[in-house]
Amino acid sequence: MTTAIESLRDKDVSFADIRHESHASTQINVTNGIIRRFGRATKSGTVARALVGECWGMSSTSESLSSNVCKNLVSEAVRSAKANARFSRKSLDLSDVQPIEKTVWQKCQLDPAKVSTDEKLELVMSLDKAQKIDDRIVNTNSVYNDSKIVFQLVNTVGSKLEWDELRITSVVQSVAREGNRMQFDYGVKGGSAGYELLKSINPEEFGGNCAKGAIELLSAEKPPSGSMTVISDGDISGLIAHEVCGHASEADEVVKKRSFLTDMVGVQVGTDQVTLVDDGTLEGVSGRIPFDSEGTPSSRTIIIKNGVYEGYLHTLETASLMGVLPTGNGRSQDYNRRVFARMTNTFFDSGDWKNEEIISETKEGLYVLKTLSGMEDVVGGGVQCSALKGYIIKNGELTQLVRSMTLAGKVLDILKTVDAVGDTLHFSGGGACGKGEEDFISVSHGGPHMRAEMVVGGG
Amino acid sequence: MNIADIADKILSVSEKSGATQAEVYAIRVRTASTYIDDNIPKIGGSMIETGFGLKYIIGKKIGFSSSTLAQEKPQDLVERAISLARVNNEDEKFVSLPEPKKVSDSADRFHDSSTASADSTILMEKAMEVVQGASCDNVTVPNGSLRTSSATFHIRNSLGVDVGSKGTIAFGFFTAKSEDNGSVGEGVQRCWSREINSIDYHGLGQMLKEQALSMLKAKPFKEKWEDSVAVLAPSEGTEMVYNLIGFAVSGENVNKRSSPWSDKMGEKVASENITVIDNGLSERGLLSSIVDDEGVPTQKTTILENGILRSYIFDSYNANQLELQSTGNGIRRTARELAGRFSSPAVCAGTTMEVRPGTKSVDDIIGEIKQGIYVEHFAWPIVDAMSGNFSNEIRNARIIENGELGNPIKYALWVGNLYESIKGSVLVANNPEIHDKRVMPTIAFPNTEIVGQ
């Protein structure tokens, strides 16, 4: 790789890099007590990028790594960049990019590769068994997944980097049925960690609670629809942080003025209880990365501080265009996909309310729990966050359980109604974030309990 | 060495090492792409990936391993699968890999050479046609991507399956942003085809522009309409219908009892206006191929006939449990992304879901609706396939009142239960479009709510 990048002599190319990735993962899926999948997957590939004017070319292959392969990739990337560059309106200046030579290997207490497959199988089987608490549980699903990606990166400013990313996840999902009614619940535990994270699971509790949740949902009512006071749990708060504020803070959407948060630095966008952070350095959570896919060290970026908008998430390119330092948010799904501005671990920071206090001091409202899905609205600043369940709050007490619903509204309106923020942060057990419907990367989202005014649509 | 020869070698090593049965899936994918950013082609890309997946079976114990074989040899892939199979529990429901069956079509029936040979420069020119069609004084194209992939795959198994197929896909996704005195609007359009030259790129750009400009006039919807009809453009309706019906008729979900239709064969589960076919040989289908990803010949399976449940779809694993034949629905590939598909074993999934078009035009259907909404774009159309419940944020839509399309609206939720809605007076238009793995027309769904914000 180094030879190929050092031998690049083309005055039109202002920057180039080569990244090699080796992926290895283990998957165990158990359904109704039967192992449906027990697999170990590996793949590796190399991608070269070249910058001409303001346009990039990229070329990747799964062929074995060699000097010739790398030279061919660089050559193809340069060809594509030059073809695009006839539309180029300016030249990007990446001359401020500093060379880094570093190797960072992730530490963990129990390397999943050294844990016996018997032990992993036993864990997943016990999770599945623990869900069978009632005849109404008609389907149990339990998943184990570990993954390790090893990266090597070189670029034309002289960086030489090696690092790895280790992630582990366990998921349970129970399906309950009574007559024609079917409902499910789920549980996830995961993060950027070794097997020690899953060792801490109590299977009876983890699997059993999931099944209990599915059975309870069989008697859940349809939720109310309309504008109301909503208390979101940390998971839902995190989804709002990620989908609406996070995506719109990705600076590629800002430099072309597509984001509703363009030109918002210094503007009060929420109450003083609202602080939003993206932090790729956080140990243990799924979006932790030592370097992004461009070799920039990850960092902690304050997006909103006490209600005032502070800053965006940058790649090398967007940082150059906006005259700031890159934040380590240039990420790609893998060697086959482009690098662009992406989140890492995005969360609303904690406040000083006790969770119970937020509920007891709400006369009427809806307590919303557990994410199902979300979608960004970078242009309009709207929210679509779907939740699995909730409870109607009456006179400060949780009453009727209600089933799936969607939260909506304009985020800048919602943030201006946040009047209570909990003191305990919760991070999702891991997840894959897409942008523009694809390019999935590992991230986490999180937050405390929060109270705000939102629109609810109950399905 | 071509991928069929490597598959042969992996199978041979597996059989010699004691596999009772073994299956090798080999795929080579070539992809070209261009990304539009702020009206210009920002990134041009090319990708080539080759990968192999091995299912190694000892009795009823199954191990699966996969690799690009860039850093390891076929022997390593086999040894890894053996080690997993040995420690695995027996899967009592596993009967056998598929037996070979006669395949009459040519492997390249669904392969388009123009699409396969397109490079990022050709894609750049076509993507810029979209930009030119969309751009005007107050409309830009901030984001877009256009991608072509050609895939050659081959399946070898120890029972004699030795077959492959080739296919091509072109996919595009574009957004437009309109601005006028501080007001903004967005248009979103996707295009799908097996043939890159069959897409009207300039026309796509014009639709994008019209959609974005229309949204400048959109007013917030502040009412609550109960018992309303929602007419969904094919891009939105197909996503919801496939997610619902594809889940309910999956042999895997039927066998594990998570499908609400697991005991409804022969019953009326939808309006008589709805006939749905899973067609592995669909002329327009992006996953069309002469065999599925287990090497079973693909076919046309009628799932719903005038609302009556006629068949589930099966891969070999799930079909064998019920002593039925696979319907050619053992699938690894996806219509949007062909890279990396060797990393997972085949699962029971749809090939191309076709909804039989009706006889009425979209205008005719709108003309029959007293109160409702015509939706061109949701934030993301989703439905809980177990319960049928949905609640989706509407991004681009127009109200329908007394049979006429009214003003564009924004900030509303479409709420209801899709299993219940499709039992009602569903209206199906005559304009089928291809979106992802579905060929479906505009459909009007009754008995739903529209909730303003």
State which residue of chain B sits closest to A253, comparing Cα positions. B142
A63 contact residues in B (CB cutoff 8 A): 48, 50, 70
Q: CB within 8 A of B280, min separation 6: which ones? A: B287, B288, B289, B292, B298, B299, B300, B328, B329, B351, B352
Residue A348's closest CA among A430, A438, A243, A437? A243
Model ipTM?
Answer: 0.92
Split at pLDDT 50, 70, 90, the class of B182 is confident
Contact criterion met (CB < 8 Å) for B451 and A455: yes
Split at pLDDT 50, 70, 90, the class of B453 is confident
Looking at residue A376, its pLDDT comes to 83
Q: Looking at A319-328, A375-384, B381-390, which range is the least confident one?
A: A375-384
Decide if B80 touches A, using CB distance below 8 A. yes
pLDDT above 70 covers a percentage of chain A that reads: 100
pLDDT (tens digit per residue) in B370-404: 999 999 999 889 999 999 999 999 988 999 999 99
Split at pLDDT 50, 70, 90, the class of A92 is very high
Whether the Cβ atoms of residue A389 and residue A201 lie closer than 8 Å to each other: no
Angle at B276 (CA atoms; ends B271, B279), nearest 5 degrees: 180
Neighbour tally for A263: CB within 10 Å: 10
Contact criterion met (CB < 8 Å) for B340 and A45: no
Specify burial of residue B220 (Cβ count, 10 A radius: 0-12, 13-18, 19+). exposed
Q: For A2-15, what is the mean pLDDT?
A: 92
Rounded to an integer, what distance in angstroms lies between the CA atom of residue B366 and that of residue B362?
Answer: 6
Split at pLDDT 50, 70, 90, the class of B104 is confident
| Residues of B (378-397) whose Cβ lies below 8 Å from A | 379-380, 382, 384, 386-387, 389-393, 395
Rounded to an integer, what distance in angstroms lies between the CA atom of residue B197 and that of residue B202?
Answer: 12
Q: Specify the DSSP class assigned to residue A220.
A: P
Rounded to an integer, what distance in angstroms lies between the CA atom of residue A395 and that of residue A250?
Answer: 40
Q: Is the pLDDT of residue B146 over 80?
A: yes
Split at pLDDT 50, 70, 90, the class of B108 is very high
State which residue of chain A sits closest to B123, comparing Cα positions. A84
Contact criterion met (CB < 8 Å) for A380 and B184: yes
Residue of B70, B339, B343 lying closest to A336 (CB–CB): B339
Q: Which residue has the tokens 């598909």?
A: B341
Domains and CATH numbers, chain B: 3-216 (3.30.2290.10), 219-237+357-452 (no CATH), 247-355 (no CATH)
Angle at A125 (CA atoms; ends A119, A126), nearest 5 degrees: 90
CA A68 to chain B, closest CA, distance in angstroms equals 14
Decide if B420 touches A, using CB distance below 8 A. no
CA-CA distances (angstroms) from residue A313 to A177, A307, A326? Answer: 44, 18, 8
Q: Is the pLDDT of residue B445 over 90?
A: yes
Q: CB within 8 A of A456, min separation 6: which ones? A: A223, A224, A225, A226, A227, A228, A230, A366, A368, A405, A406, A407, A408
Best probe of the B interface among A79, A145, A386, A433, by most B CBs < 10 A, is A386
Residue of B40, B66, B71 lying closest to A89 (CB–CB): B40
- Cα–chain center distance at A314: 16
b/e map A392-404, b = 16+ CB within 10 Å: bbeeeeeeebbbb
| Residues of B (216-235) whose Cβ lies below 8 Å from A | 224
Best probe of the B interface among A256, A294, A414, A438, by most B CBs < 10 A, is A256
Domains and CATH numbers, chain A: 2-217 (3.30.2290.10), 226-458 (no CATH)
pLDDT (tens digit per residue) in B246-305: 999 999 999 998 999 999 999 999 999 999 999 999 999 999 999 999 999 999 999 999
Contact criterion met (CB < 8 Å) for B38 and A256: yes
CA-CA distances (angstroms) from residue B309 to A228, A403, B366, B429? Answer: 41, 28, 28, 21
Rounded to an integer, what distance in angstroms lies between the CA atom of residue A83 and that of residue A77?
Answer: 10
Q: For A131-160, what is the mean pLDDT?
A: 97
Query: For the whole model, what pTM was predicted?
Result: 0.93
Rounded to an integer, what distance in angstroms lies between the CA atom of residue A366 and that of residue B32?
Answer: 48
How high does pLDDT run on average in chain A?
Answer: 95
Rounded to an integer, what distance in angstroms lies between the CA atom of residue B380 and that of residue A156?
Answer: 40
Decide if A386 touches B, using CB distance below 8 A. yes
Looking at residue B452, its pLDDT comes to 87
Q: For A208-229, what is the mean pLDDT?
A: 95
Rounded to an integer, what distance in angstroms lies between the CA atom of residue A60 and that of residue A73?
Answer: 6
Q: Specify the DSSP class assigned to residue B291.
A: B
A408 contact residues in B (CB cutoff 8 A): 393, 411, 413, 453
Residue of A84, A175, A252 lying closest to B41 (CB–CB): A84
How is A29-52 classified by DSSP, letter by letter? EEETTEEEEEEEEEEEEEEEEEEE
Contact criterion met (CB < 8 Å) for B91 and A36: yes
Give B183's Cβ-side CA count (13 Å radius). 13
Looking at residue B337, its pLDDT comes to 87
Best probe of the B interface among A37, A69, A80, A260, by most B CBs < 10 A, is A80
Contact criterion met (CB < 8 Å) for B258 and A139: yes
Which tokens sit at A172? 């349970």
pLDDT (tens digit per residue) in B24-77: 999 999 999 999 999 999 999 999 999 999 999 999 999 999 999 998 999 999
Split at pLDDT 50, 70, 90, the class of A459 is low
Specify burial of residue B294 (Cβ count, 10 A radius: 0-12, 13-18, 19+). buried
Rounded to an integer, what distance in angstroms lies between the CA atom of residue B112 and that of residue B39?
Answer: 29
- Cα–chain center distance at A183: 26
Decide if B72 touches A, using CB distance below 8 A. yes
Q: For A298-306, what is the mean pLDDT?
A: 98
Whether the Cβ atoms of residue A347 and residue A215 lie closer than 8 Å to each other: no
| Residues of A (188-247) whose Cβ lies below 8 Å from B | 225-227
Residue of A34, A80, A406 lying closest to B413 (CB–CB): A406
Rounded to an integer, what distance in angstroms lies between the CA atom of residue B116 and that of residue B134?
Answer: 27
B339 contact residues in A (CB cutoff 8 A): 336
